[in-house]
Each structure stands twice: as structure tokens, then as C-alpha cells.
Amino acid sequence: MSEGSKGSSLAFGQVVIGPPGSGKTTYCHGMQEFMGRIGRKVTVVNLDPANEAMPYQCAVDIAELITLPDVMENLKLGPNGGLIYCMEYLEANFDWLQEKLAAFRGHYYLFDCPGQVELYTHHHALKNVFAQLAKWNFRLAAVHLVDSHYCTDPGKFISVLCTSLSTMLHVELPHVNILSKMDLIEQYGKLAFNLDYYTEVLDLSYLVDHLASDPFFRNYRRLNEKLVEVIEDYSLVSFVPLNVQDKESMRQVMQAVDKANGYSFGDQEHRSLEALMSSAVGADFHFASTLAVQEKYVQSQDKAVEEEVMDL
């Protein structure tokens, strides 16, 4: 993994990013177990200096280099400033990271990253870490987790779309956006549109019209229209639904990420032509994964209506 060595073998993996509470650590735990069952040797790398309770087996932990509580205490910084300092410190100590990763050659890597959104939209430290990993022949895909409850609020969903787009443009990695916690979506309230409207990010003018029904957002219609135009002009953002408890959902997400980072097309696993083609599918794959979740969601809504009728 020496820098600039053309002959060294490739290493594949995911950088798991997203806002606080989106389920990054849970995702790493679930994906580590899922990949382990199909025979992949998975190494989880914790890059979050504030992550103290890790359910997964952590092979490389940034806490051995620096921790957020120590930075906040010694430098008198707040949580946000402390996280930025920690990432800059990691950027200044690439040799530590390279030495730790070298002990796990031939493994598939999951990088559990901090939850501060500014690190992926404005600041350059983590972006530079990802770029350095690419120089060490890592082929990475960014897995951006977003809590699915934002779908129930049109205003928040537009904000999520803007954040996702900004992250994709700033991080500069193959990108897979994930709607996490789909098993809980029925608890958040009724969706204004079918689930595929949110996963495929269809005509957002309907969302602006829906927002206009709220007196508060009616005053900001022009702003929302311009934000929607920016999102649609780039036409980059779409989502894959995820339920960590569902093996089929995990498999579909894994296939999407394998396609993004190129793992599907290598010789790391013996796979049939059928398996290769199934991971290379585009729109049909996303439609099937969304349809399965949509059916469960509709069934839960119907059941709730029936219970209300019975109570009456």
C-alpha cells in the first residue's frame, strides 16, 4: 500500500457518512455481519473520535491516535470545533493510518465516519483523507445515510436533497445515498406520495405545491422552487431504501455499493455470470428494492386503518 505504487493490489471498501443519528454505526455492524456470512473478510475502521460504544469488531480505531473528549478538554474547543481538529490531526498523521491498514491486506474495509455534516459539505480534511486512500489503491464508495423520517416532511426532504447533492459534489467519490431505518417509517406518519417518489426523486414541483399548503412555507415558495431547480438540474440524487434487519434489503444495498466501487467487476469472489449481471442492473434493481419496501409500508398503513375502524 505504498503511495504511488502501481503494482500493489487494490483494496475495496465503503466510507459510511451521514448526519448524527442516521444509523452509520448500526449500518457498519450489520454490513460487517452480513458480509462475513457470505465469506468476505471485513475490517471496520472507526474514524469517529466521538464514537465510544461500538457494537462491531473494530480493527482500527482513531481513538488510539486522538479522541474528541481529550481535544475538548485540552484545547477548550466545543464538539464541532473539536471534531474538525481531530480530522485535521488525522490528515497530518497519514503514516499512522497507513501502518494500521497495512495489517489487513486483502480485506474489505468499512470506514465509520463522524456525523458532523460540515465535514462533508465544506471542510477538506476528510476529503483529503479519502483522496490519500485512493493514492494507496483503495477503491471506495461513499455510502451516505439519511433517516427515512425526513420523507414525511416536505421541507426537511428538500433540505436533505440539498445536503446530499452538496456532499456528492464535495466528497468526489462514487456515491450511494441510503434511506435508513425503513422498518420504522410507518411510525413517522403517512407519506404524501408513494415511496418511489422519494427514492427516485421524481418531479419535485409536486413537493413545492404540497409545501405551499402550509402558511409558513407559502412565503418561501420562490426560494423552494429555486432549490428544487438546482437539485433537478444536476439530476444526481436518488436513494436506496434500507432495513438493516432485512437480509434482502442488505443484499440489495451491498450490490449497489459493489457496483459503485467496482468490486462487482473484480475477481475477489467467485461469482457466476448471473450474479454479476444482477449487481450491474440499474433502474430495474432500484425499482425492485423500492417496491418491496413500498408493499410493506402500504400493508402497515392498511392495518392501521383497519385497527382504527375496529376501535370505532
CATH of the domain at 263: 3.40.50.300
| Residue 281 confidence (pLDDT) | 47
| Residue 5 confidence (pLDDT) | 44
Domain for residue 64, yes or no? yes
| Residue 107 confidence (pLDDT) | 95
Spatial distance between the Cα atoms of 109 and 92, rounded to a whole number of angstroms? 21
255-291 burial, b if ≥16 CB within 10 A, otherwise e? bbbbbbbebbeeebeeeeeeeeebbeeeeebbeebbe
Closest CA to 264 of 237, 243, 285: 285
Domain for residue 86, yes or no? yes
Tell me which residue range forms the domain holding 102. 11-201+237-311
- Count of domains observed in the chain: 1
Closest CA to 167 of 134, 119, 129: 119
| Residue 217 confidence (pLDDT) | 80
| Residue 292 confidence (pLDDT) | 58
Extract the residue ranges of the chain whose pLDDT is less than 50.
2-7, 270, 272-274, 276-277, 280-285, 287
| Residue 211 confidence (pLDDT) | 83
Strands 138-147 and 175-180: parallel
Domain for residue 4, yes or no? no
> What phi and psi, each to the nearest 5 degrees, are found at residue 145?
-90, 135
- Is the pTM value of this prediction over 0.75? yes
| Residue 6 confidence (pLDDT) | 42
| Residue 169 confidence (pLDDT) | 93
| Residue 309 confidence (pLDDT) | 52
Domain for residue 74, yes or no? yes
Domain for residue 215, yes or no? no
| Residue 17 confidence (pLDDT) | 96
Domain for residue 157, yes or no? yes
Domain for residue 128, yes or no? yes
Domain for residue 55, yes or no? yes
| Residue 44 confidence (pLDDT) | 97
